[in-house]
Amino acid sequence: MARQRIVVLSGAGVSAESGLGTFRDSGGLWEQHRIEDVATPEAWATDPEHVLRFYDMRREQTLKAVPNAAHRAIAALEQAFEVDVVTQNIDDLHERAGSSRVMHLHGEILKARSTKDPDLIVPLNGPSLRWGDRCPLGSQLRPHIVWFGEAVPLIPEAAALVAGADRLVVVGTSLQVYPAAGLVHYLPQERSLWVIDPHPVPLQGPHVHTIRSKASEGMPRLASAWLQEVSA
């Protein structure tokens, strides 16, 4: 029998217990920094070094962090399911936990991108990206991050994955940022959706199952129930 397809839509909450702060929880990143100063094309045009420092901090923290039980449980689902992770996170913790198909909607902190050719993306080997660091075409490199006000190029591909999913898990995201938040609406109506978050997330309906817990508790519980179900 064909393996069922699971899509996991993850957000900052899945990495919170690895020590990477979320954005909108109390004390979150957007309480400490103004979005318009660090995460917009205008911020980059006005004060690129400030923007680079902000993302250098994100990179340093990512390099120190390790995957937690939630990342590992998501990776373990591959034992019995076709799994696609669609993440809003810019860290690489899903990959380090062993997930083999990870789509980063909002970019990746361990990569930089040419300001001349957006398809020219290079890995970042060190913790910092500096003003004056150039791409092979000679133009300034910028963080490989989707900023507010920019298009999210992977949305059509992500929507197709959700549309083909047998089960959707939404974990650790407040679903406040579009177009990523709108992806849940591509799930066919009769398919089930599980939400794992310690706080209320605005999703309801007959096919929505809510697990009010931290990702490191809820995700392993759900994954082991599903793995047992298919091995029975």
Residues forming the active site: 106
Interface region with ligand OAD, contact rule CB under 6 A, candidates 21-29, 74-82, 129-137, 182-190: 21-29
Determine, following the binding rule CB under 6 A, whether residue 198 of this chain makes contact with ligand OAD.
yes
Determine, following the binding rule CB under 6 A, whether residue 16 of this chain makes contact with ligand OAD.
yes
| Cβ distance to ligand OAD smaller for residue 31 or 134 | 31
Interface region with ligand OAD, contact rule CB under 6 A, candidates 95-103, 114-122, 132-140, 169-177: 169-177
100-126 residues labelled b (16+ CB within 10 A) or e (exposed): eebebbbbbbbbbbbbeeeeeeeebee
Binder to ligand OAD among 58, 59, 94, 106 (CB under 6 A)? 106
The 8-class DSSP code of residue 186 comes to: G
CA distance 114 to 12: 26
Binding mask 129-158 for ligand OAD (x = CB under 6 A): -----------------x------------
Name the residues that contact ligand OAD, by CB under 6 A.
11-13, 16-17, 22-25, 28, 39, 88, 106, 146, 172-174, 176-177, 197-199, 201, 214-215
